[in-house]
Amino acid sequence: MTTAGIPHSYIPFSLLFFLLSSTLSSSSSSSSSSHLYPGTGTETAEKEGKTRSLHSEILRDEAVARLNDLGKVSDADDYLERTFMSPASVRAGTLIREWMEDAGLRTWFDSMGNLHGRVEGMNPSAQALLIGSHMDTVVDAGIFDGSLGIISAISGLKALKSNGKLGELKRPVISFSDEEGVRFQSTFLGSAAVAGVLPVTALNISDKSGVTLQDVLKGNSIEITEESLLELKYDPASVWGYVELHIEQGPVLEWTGFPLAVVKGIAGQTRMKVTVRGSQGHAGTVPMSMRRDPMAAAAELIVLLECLCKHPREFLSDGGNCNEHTLESLSTSLVCTVGEISTWPSASNVIPGQARNYSVTFTVDLRAIDDVGREAVVYELSNQIYKICDRRSVSCIIERKHDANAVMCDHELSSLLRSAAYTAVQRMTGEIHEEVPLLMSGAGHDAMAISHLTKVGMLFVRCRGGISHSPEEHVLDDDVWAAGLAVLAFLESHILYYLDITLDYFANLKSGVETPNYGWVLLGALLKTRIPSPADDEKKLRAHQFSQGWKRMAEELALDLEELKKLQCIAKRPRILSFIFSEIRNLEKTLKDDANRASPATAPQIPIPIATSAKALVNPALSYVTLALCAIPKLNKEIKPEKCKVIVKPTRVIITLFKACKGNWSDLHYKEDKLKPNLDKERDPMAGIMDLMKNMYEEGDEDMKRTIDKAWTDARYGNTGDSLKGFR
């Protein structure tokens, strides 16, 4: 996409330097003036009517107000903090409960502090759809993480209620008590209990002050026993699926300019703690050659980790443990972080040593979508760590603290969510837009725990700068609206596609159609138009993305071509004219060749970005244009490709070509030497001379042309015996 297509507040990082002022001025407003959305209800009566019909008062205005209200419910005075069952968490639960009841849900708290809201459907045997997110926060948090998923679900159901459609299916909304794991250093306490995967031993874990989880619940008048914990699990047969909406917590959606994305899967995680011990000593007296310094060793290990995670292929290709698919997956999804480091005794004049069992310790957080690949990285990393520690004569202990496998989202649910996100944006803008992006999630979510119970699907909502777990976290009001509309569209599609026969029969009786079998007829029709197979859908999406990408590229090329033609009209110097002509010809050829690829039989694989990646994506259209303009059909002379280098800097690219033979190049482009006579022996010996004359005539200036004319005439009429006299 070109920058013209991106709302002001969503300028890609790479352009921030140039557009800083406009970025700041537009991002300071919480309401977007983006072209992606209609006016926010002030310009015309027509727009106001449309805004009302899109439930903006529920899905945007009320949802934003509730997010702000919930954001003020904190255990701290000057920042947001709500941990498992803290006083603020209990107050937040009460507030959310009021909102759930306002949307027509029956509510209750379970014995792990999860808040449930349920629409009592007309068919009690119908499977339930779960929608949820978490109400706890990290320390010094933003107001959208977790809360947006809960409030969007409640708003969507409230809008459905105002449409008179609520009550057609069982739709519990769950507000999970703990996801972040701040208080007990154990994530997904709430959702794991509902999924039935929380071990009973979790009741005895304690927080920093030594209070156990069971005691914390008891302090809030909740009695939990091992038996009652097991009873919290939903019966898998009674659940149809789980949907979670969450802020992206990464910069990719902001780059694409689209407010919503479907999540393809959630990366698996491994957390480790590495302890390095050496020999403690005086900073001034121990010679460098005699030191066993664990700090310097730790530094080398951290750099090794970064190197391995940036270039997994270089470390893992030789071992044969990873196939090409795994290596490719790691190349695009592996992320590693050292977020915490501590030393003892932590003094400027002491070499840290062996005391207190933790002389230098650091954490490693490693995530990838491919579980086999993640294991291979952990194995390789451990091997390399031990080797380095041996070489440095320090000891290392590696402890694996946490492991979670990757979770792939369900194709069918993702397909429904994709349609819902598309419908939401289309309803808001009234225009057809690009396909909904498909992202991987590098962050963990409750959906990981619930995947043990049922199939899961997720939607991401863009957030400013990709910033999360910070008070700077921000979602535009209109994006909150898009999220609510997507939930509403999803719920409506759920009713359309999964209409229960009994329910359908009642629904039709209610609407006055007195045909008892109408439900069966309608169901038959629906089945025919049911969701296409996931594989078909995927192919269509890929083909569409490819054709959209080509379209954008072709537009860019056409603009380049137009400008080159204008330059051609004003250029005077022959070399410039020749250069422009050659570029025009190249561009025309590229456009013609690529037009045939616009609708490929099978679309190429498009890499899927990881949501937490800090690296901005390369716009395929722009990069193609750059390459096309740089393309040289044939170089002046031969080069050695293996010795050539490309250096990419923020504002320029330096390409160094290595000549195969020494010598001067007058031009990068290959140029036929027209002054050299053609020595083909088969030809008439005079033909080479004639070609040379012809070339010189064509390339020459007026004087040259007159001289050649004269020599030619003289030679023809015998005025001279030397036809080339003028050139010697």
d(CA 722, CA 311): 70
Nearer to Zn ion, 337 or 547 (CB): 337
Nearer to Zn ion, 146 or 257 (CB): 146
Minimum distance, C-beta of residue 147 to Zn ion, in the bound complex (Å): 9
Nearer to Zn ion, 138 or 316 (CB): 138
Nearest to 304 by CA among 384, 198, 236: 384
Nearest to 726 by CA among 688, 718, 685, 706: 706
Nearest to 266 by CA among 607, 608, 616, 541: 608
Interface segment toward Zn ion; rule CB under 5 A; list 95-103, 141-149, 198-206, 648-656:
141-149
First-last CA distance in the chain:
59
d(CA 70, CA 93): 10
8 Å CB contact between 373 and 334:
yes
Nearer to Zn ion, 145 or 473 (CB): 145
Three-state DSSP class for 259? coil
What is the torsion angle, in degrees rounded to the nearest 10, for the CA atoms of residue 555, residue 556, residue 557 and residue 563? 110
With 0-12 CB in 10 A as exposed, 13-18 as middle and 19+ as buried, what is 609?
A: buried
Nearer to Zn ion, 446 or 477 (CB): 446
* Binder of Zn ion out of 117, 142, 146, 444 (CB under 5 A): 146
Minimum distance, C-beta of residue 635 to Zn ion, in the bound complex (Å): 53
Nearer to Zn ion, 146 or 484 (CB): 146
3-state DSSP helix/strand/coil % of the chain, to nearest 5: 45, 15, 40
- Is residue 444 near Zn ion by the rule CB under 5 A? no
- Is residue 168 near Zn ion by the rule CB under 5 A? no
Nearer to Zn ion, 178 or 434 (CB): 178
Minimum distance, C-beta of residue 179 to Zn ion, in the bound complex (Å): 6
Nearer to Zn ion, 32 or 249 (CB): 249
b/e code 43-79 from CB counts within 10 Å (16+ = b): eeeeeeebbeebbbebbbbbbbebbeebbebbbeeee
Number of residues in contact with Zn ion under rule CB under 5 A: 2
Nearer to Zn ion, 63 or 169 (CB): 63
Interface segment toward Zn ion; rule CB under 5 A; list 146-154, 221-229, 299-307, 512-520:
146-154
Residues with Cβ within 8 Å of residue 398, at least 6 apart in sequence: 272, 273, 274, 382, 385
Minimum distance, C-beta of residue 186 to Zn ion, in the bound complex (Å): 15
Q: Which helix (H) or strand (E) holds 270?
A: strand 268-277
For every residue of 175-242, which 3-state class applies, written as one string? Answer: EECCCCCCCCCCCCHHHHHHHCCCCHHHHHCECCCCCEHHHHHHHCCCCCCHHHHHHCCCCHHHEEEE
- Is residue 145 near Zn ion by the rule CB under 5 A? yes
Interface segment toward Zn ion; rule CB under 5 A; list 140-148, 283-291, 616-624, 684-692:
140-148
Minimum distance, C-beta of residue 402 to Zn ion, in the bound complex (Å): 17
Minimum distance, C-beta of residue 133 to Zn ion, in the bound complex (Å): 7
Nearest to 358 by CA among 345, 347, 370: 345
Nearer to Zn ion, 105 or 266 (CB): 266
Q: How far is CA 715 from CA 664, 704, 707, in A?
A: 38, 16, 12
Interface segment toward Zn ion; rule CB under 5 A; list 138-146, 343-351, 597-605, 714-722:
138-146
Minimum distance, C-beta of residue 134 to Zn ion, in the bound complex (Å): 6
Minimum distance, C-beta of residue 182 to Zn ion, in the bound complex (Å): 11
Minimum distance, C-beta of residue 88 to Zn ion, in the bound complex (Å): 17
Place of tokens 């954001």: 71
Minimum distance, C-beta of residue 132 to Zn ion, in the bound complex (Å): 11
Interface segment toward Zn ion; rule CB under 5 A; list 73-81, 142-150, 602-610, 714-722:
142-150
Residues at the site binding Zn ion, with contacts judged by CB under 5 A: 145-146
